[in-house]
Structure 1
Amino acid sequence: MRESHLAERMDDPHCDLGELNRTYAQFGTVNGLVAGWRRVYRQDLRPHLSASRPNTLLDIGCGGGDVPRALARWAARDGFTLRITAIDADARAIAFAQAQPPVSGLHFRRAMSGDLVREGQRFDLVTSNHLLHHLTGSELRALLGDCEALSAGLVVHSDLQRSPLAYLGFRVGVAPLFRGSFIGEDGLRSIRRSFTTAELRKLAPPGWTVRTLVPFRNLLIYGASDRD
């Protein structure tokens, strides 16, 4: 059963700032190991990028900013102009992200998806990483409604897939690699908070599809995609 009541230490407004910043700094490594964004970029995002005009992408819940930085780097390497707006509701995350070396076309902002809907903004692509498990069912539905309003093309939410094997694999193979941060403890809690594929499919509104990605990932997708 999903344990949505569990609190992650990095979400505590009074948590140790040094440990929190080390957590943000280590996200790039841990996401490189488990999140599979390079594959998602190649298979889902890149086919929707235009070489003849600037493209726009919104990353929701960006944390320390490692995923939008990677997307900006890959798109530039492939010859695309990609303007990324990366948002997070936590001022500490935005402060960390803005303190890193700047990346052309990437802008960090403290905001929530609803703020951008009220501003009437639209983006070619909308993404998130490890956001869905933080949400209740009603919060998830609200987020997906915002994404439908914000997207002019494709939405891809990537999150953990809850399973005993995922928990064991992270506990044994990943958590011991990261010291002095919240990644080990919070990662295990995140898995316990996350959705199974069946749960996510049950919650997905019409027009949304759920696809699995090895290892232990759920992709919640909306918009033009021939890979559902």
Structure 2
Amino acid sequence: MLGFGQRLLGAQEKMDDLACDPRQLERTYHHFGLVNDVLSGWRSVYLRRIRPHLSATRPSRLLDIGCGGGDVPIRLAQWAARDRLRLDITAIDADARAIRYASVRPLPSGAEGHLHFRQAMSGDLVREGSQPFDFITSNHLLHHLSAAELQALLDDCQHLCVGTVIHNDIGRSALAYALFGLGTWPLFRESFIHDDGLLSIRRSFSKPELAALAPPGWRVRSLIPFRNLLIYRAPGKRPDA
């Protein structure tokens, strides 16, 4: 059995199966919000790396790639609206099921008209000649990709972003696997959270692996608990710590 010294490749998460139980898939999308609020650290990412660059008068544009059920872009829109800062968000996912779910979710007060969901991939926006974004984010996307797919994504991001790119993903470790397994088994039996989450940890990059694959201009930072941030700042922009 493959240990934690290497990524587990070639395995498919249950929610990625087009024939999976639609009720369990919907519950999974619903539960993502709780899991990400507790484990993904987006509040600190927003406070440190996004909010300082937002304005109350000048709109900023953010692209969220692989948005899933939409909880992360909804949170970002909520926080920006609460802070009275102008942030227009486009959230994309290749899976039509995710976009259908996200598109009918109620938006937080002040975010109406500032958050739009669309079925697309980053390459589609590059080919369309999309206007550049001030921020690009993703959550739990990188571990789905091969090394070649990761390089293609990062190239797309450099084409599309004139500010900061933040890819937030799991950092693979045996301890993360054990704690997630214990913490989620009694809570999420009617969704794919437990099984897919464990598989996601096995499929994720370690910090050294991600750093080795990162092109020039990209850097990897750790985020508690068990997170890797892969960050890019467009040329001419002041790098964050």
Give the alignment of 1:196-207 within 5 angstroms.
Answer: 196-207=206-217
| Distance apart, 1:155 and its partner CA | 0.3
Kindly provide the amino acid, as one letter, of the partner of residue 12 in structure 1. D
Alpha-carbon distance in 2 for matches of 1:197, 1:174: 24
Kindly provide the amino acid, as one letter, of the partner of residue 27 in structure 1. F
Alpha-carbon distance in 1 for matches of 2:12, 2:165: 27
Kindly provide the amino acid, as one letter, of the partner of residue 17 in structure 1. P
Kindly provide the amino acid, as one letter, of the partner of residue 76 in structure 1. A
Alpha-carbon distance in 2 for matches of 1:24, 1:225: 36
| Distance apart, 1:225 and its partner CA | 5.3
Alpha-carbon distance in 1 for matches of 2:231, 2:208: 15
Alpha-carbon distance in 2 for matches of 1:133, 1:68: 19
Which range moved further: 93-102 or 126-135? 93-102
- Work out which of the residue numbers 155, 164, 167 in structure 2 matches 1:157: 167
- Work out which of the residue numbers 53, 68, 71 in structure 1 matches 2:73: 68
- Work out which of the residue numbers 110, 113, 120 in structure 1 matches 2:119: 110
- Work out which of the residue numbers 42, 46, 51 in structure 1 matches 2:51: 46
Provide the residue aligned with 2:3 in structure 1.
Answer: none
Q: Which stretches in structure 2 are left out of the alignment for 5+ residues? A: 1-5
Matched, 1:222 2:232: yes
| Secondary structure of the corresponding residue to residue 186 of structure 2 | helix
Q: What is the TM-score when the length of structure 2 is the normalising length? A: 0.92
Q: Closer, same or farther in 2 for the Cα pair 1:174/1:5, shift >3 Å?
A: same
| Distance apart, 1:17 and its partner CA | 0.5
Alpha-carbon distance in 1 for matches of 2:170, 2:127: 29
Alpha-carbon distance in 2 for matches of 1:225, 1:204: 19
Alpha-carbon distance in 1 for matches of 2:238, 2:45: 12
Alpha-carbon distance in 1 for matches of 2:209, 2:180: 21
Matched, 1:30 2:35: yes
Matched, 1:82 2:91: no
How large is the Cα RMSD of the aligned pairs?
1.0
Structure 1 stretches (4+) deviating beyond 3 angstroms? 224-228
Q: Is the 8 A contact 2:184 2:193 kept in 1?
A: no
Identity fraction in percent: 61
Alpha-carbon distance in 2 for matches of 1:35, 1:152: 25
| Distance apart, 1:227 and its partner CA | 3.4
Kindly provide the amino acid, as one letter, of the partner of residue 103 in structure 2. Q
Which range moved further: 183-192 or 51-60? 51-60
Q: Is the 8 A contact 1:2 1:194 kept in 2?
A: yes
Matched, 1:136 2:146: yes
| Distance apart, 1:146 and its partner CA | 0.2
Q: Which stretches in structure 1 are left out of the alignment for 5+ residues? A: none
Matched, 1:119 2:128: yes
Give the number of equivalent residue pairs.
228
| Distance apart, 1:152 and its partner CA | 1.1
Listed one character per residue, the Cα deviations across residues 62-89 of structure 1 (whole Å, up to 9, x for unaligned) are 0000000000000011111111000000
